[in-house]
A and B are shown apart, each in its own frame.
Chain A
Amino acid sequence: MTDLGTETGIEITNLSFGYTKERLFSDLDLTLRGGNIYGLLGKNGAGKTSLLKLICGLRFPDAGSCSVLGWEPRHRPAALLEDIYFLPEEFYTPPISADLYRQIYAPFYPRFDAEAFREYLGEFDLPSGKRLSELSYGQKKKFLLAFGLSTRCRLVLLDEPTNGLDIPSKSQFRKLLARAGEEDRIILISTHQVRDMENLIDPIIILDEGKIIFQQPMYQVTRCLQVEVQMDQPSGDGVLYSEKTLGGYVVVRKNESGEETQLDLETLFNTVIANRDRIQELFVQEHMKVQEDMKVADDRNSASGDSTGGLA
């Protein structure tokens, strides 16, 4: 581990971790790069919160390595903490006013943007003079979100950020987060409320049985999977997942036609969990196909480059 703090992403390799002798994670690998809003999905007890805690140094791995922005988080170096903002599901707000909170805590974050903070508070319609302890749960959460995004930290970890937010606040949250994405910033959101995160989180990471079983950008998902609604009960090998709804059956198949359809996160999650091996195989095949296409295109380009060179 370099501990130099110069790298920009998260590299987790062969990580093992557990609260008891039974492992929660074993040989977990994960790579995250800046400029993305990752969505971390998983069943209850899959270890989403534990993974966030391992990333920000609140839990230590039993084996394997975890590098965050070039630092080893278990040492909780100040330089790393200046670049991480973690909003847990069970959070704490000191009994002081929003203004005083900013005065006391903003100096801990060297890139804190006071102007953006004021703007976010306004957008969330939050009072700045009131004591934080007097705010409702949702208001407190919005305050902390506004503060966290204003810190300009390169890594923002949000655990169930939309829990407790009212309907207007959820859409404000989505707008705010979409704007907050920066080139070198990683936003990692762990959530069960997938409908709140629709069209926001991309790529999608699915954690199950101690491993990352799925990590794909949405364009890859729509390229590989096709969803349709049909009245009859689907059958056949091509069906990866189906679910009875009021309007008929929602059916997920391999995308053979190349036509892109909108697959919602809930259906995607259920498809991956129900059919993890086939889905993995499908995405590996797609990846290899893309690689081959790129190679062919490269060869063609270099061949045309050679001929051009020859002509010249």
Chain B
Amino acid sequence: MNSFSIRRLAMLLRRDFSAGYKSVFIAMAAVGGFVIMVSVVSAFGRGLGPIHEKMYYLLLFIGGYIVTSLTFKELHLNGQSVFYLTLPGSSLEKYLSKLLVTSAGYAFGSLFFYTAVSSAAEGINRLIFGYGHSFFNPFERVMLNWVAVYLVTQAVFLAGSVYFRKLAFIKTNLFLWLFGIVVVILVAVTAWLIFRDYAAGTRINLEPYFQRLGESGEMQAVLQPMAEKFGQVAKVLFWGVTAPVCWLIGYLRLRETEV
């Protein structure tokens, strides 16, 4: 079955761009103005800390999650959903077009945009005050690391955008909170079951346990490698599993959407 064509994907991307470019420009103007204003006000007050990294962090994560949560809005609106779902393109192409725009498209677009805006803001600061904040460097390791984290975590919001009919951003956040609470409860119950002998009331005091492990040499031989293994598994789960699983959930949900 002909379920993927670069030509159709390009047409879908063009369509998405033409439908949203005005909103994008308005948002860019608003964010740009805000960044310049904050930068100038901060320089005026001699607050010369690294504000651009913090502001880019907010733009990337909060802005990116909101944009991602809104990306499948047309799927849940009367009339628009019929229009979108009957548009000639497979579910895979439709999903990929939204994924590309909101993941790599948003991350690198915002990086480029923020570099330009912050440079302009710092130029203004230096013109007015003769000094300014340090320039924003998009190639810093920490920035690229944030982008990588964003690319993984936005997959959750993309799945939420397909899944939730209304208030996808808030509902995805609520889901993440609930998921976090469930994980914490599971960990707590497991810890309780394993270490209940060390419990005193509702508290678990593991000091005697670690002392015993240290004395017997088990800490070095067993527990540390186990903790390292656990860390490796967590890394694999985060970097390698989270995004593909969310992409799959979102794609399947899109494929099964009825109007």
Interface residues of A (CB under 8 A from B): 3, 53, 56-60, 75-79, 81-82, 84-86, 88, 90-92, 94, 96, 100, 104-105, 107-109
Q: A59 — which chain B residues lie within 8 A by C-beta?
A: 258-259
Q: B19 — which chain A residues lie within 8 A by C-beta?
A: 94, 96
Could you give, for residues 9-42 of chain B, a 1 whenever the CB lies within 8 Å of some chain A CB and a 0 otherwise? 0010011001100000000000000000000000
**When A60-B258, A76-B90, A78-B93 are in contact, do A92 and B82 touch as well, CB less than 8 Å?**
yes
CB–CB B2/A79 < 8 A: yes
User: Cβ of B45 < 8 Å from any Cβ of A?
Assistant: no
Partner of B1, one of A60, A77, A82: A77
CB–CB A108/B11 < 8 A: yes
Give the CA-CA distance A105 to B258 in the complex, in Å.
Answer: 22
Give the CA-CA distance A88 to B85 in the complex, in Å.
Answer: 12
User: Cβ of B224 < 8 Å from any Cβ of A?
Assistant: no
Q: A96 — which chain B residues lie within 8 A by C-beta?
A: 18-19
**When A78-B90, A109-B88 are in contact, do A58 and B18 touch as well, CB less than 8 Å?**
no
Best-buried of A81, A85, A86, A109 by chain B (most CB within 10 Å): A81
Q: B1 — which chain A residues lie within 8 A by C-beta?
A: 3, 75, 77, 79
User: Cβ of B78 < 8 Å from any Cβ of A?
Assistant: yes
Partner of A56, one of B79, B86, B93, B255: B86
10 A-B pairs with least C-beta separation? A92-B79, A81-B88, A82-B88, A58-B259, A108-B88, A78-B90, A92-B83, A92-B80, A90-B79, A88-B82
Determine how close the nearest CB of chain A comes to the CB of B103; give it in whole angstroms.
22
User: Cβ of B3 < 8 Å from any Cβ of A?
Assistant: yes
Give the CA-CA distance A268 to B5 in the complex, in Å.
Answer: 47
Partner of B85, one of A58, A94, A104: A58
**When A59-B258, A77-B1 are in contact, do A86 and B90 touch as well, CB less than 8 Å?**
no
Give the CA-CA distance A91 to B3 in the complex, in Å.
Answer: 26
Give the CA-CA distance A113 to B90 in the complex, in Å.
Answer: 23
CB–CB B15/A104 < 8 A: yes
Q: B259 — which chain A residues lie within 8 A by C-beta?
A: 53, 58-59
Give the CA-CA distance A94 to B77 in the complex, in Å.
Answer: 13
**When A59-B258, A78-B93, A94-B19 are in contact, do A108 and B82 touch as well, CB less than 8 Å?**
no
Q: B77 — which chain A residues lie within 8 A by C-beta?
A: 92
CB–CB B89/A108 < 8 A: yes
**When A78-B89, A94-B19 are in contact, do A88 and B79 touch as well, CB less than 8 Å?**
yes
**When A58-B86, A86-B82, A92-B79 are in contact, do A78 and B8 touch as well, CB less than 8 Å?**
yes
Q: A90 — which chain B residues lie within 8 A by C-beta?
A: 78-79, 82
Could you give, for residues 223-259 of chain B, a 1 whenever the CB lies within 8 Å of some chain A CB and a 0 otherwise? 0000000000000000000000000000000011011
Q: A77 — which chain B residues lie within 8 A by C-beta?
A: 1-3, 90
When C-beta atoms are compared, the residue in chain A nearest to B5 turns out to be A78
Q: A58 — which chain B residues lie within 8 A by C-beta?
A: 82, 85-86, 258-259
Best-buried of B82, B93, B259 by chain A (most CB within 10 Å): B82
Partner of B88, one of A75, A78, A92: A78
CB–CB B258/A91 < 8 A: no
Give the CA-CA distance A202 to B178 in the complex, in Å.
Answer: 57
Could you give, for residues 79-103 of chain B, a 1 whenever the CB lies within 8 Å of some chain A CB and a 0 otherwise? 1101101111111010000000000
Determine how close the nearest CB of chain A comes to the CB of B90; give it in whole angstroms.
4
Q: B11 — which chain A residues lie within 8 A by C-beta?
A: 104, 107-108
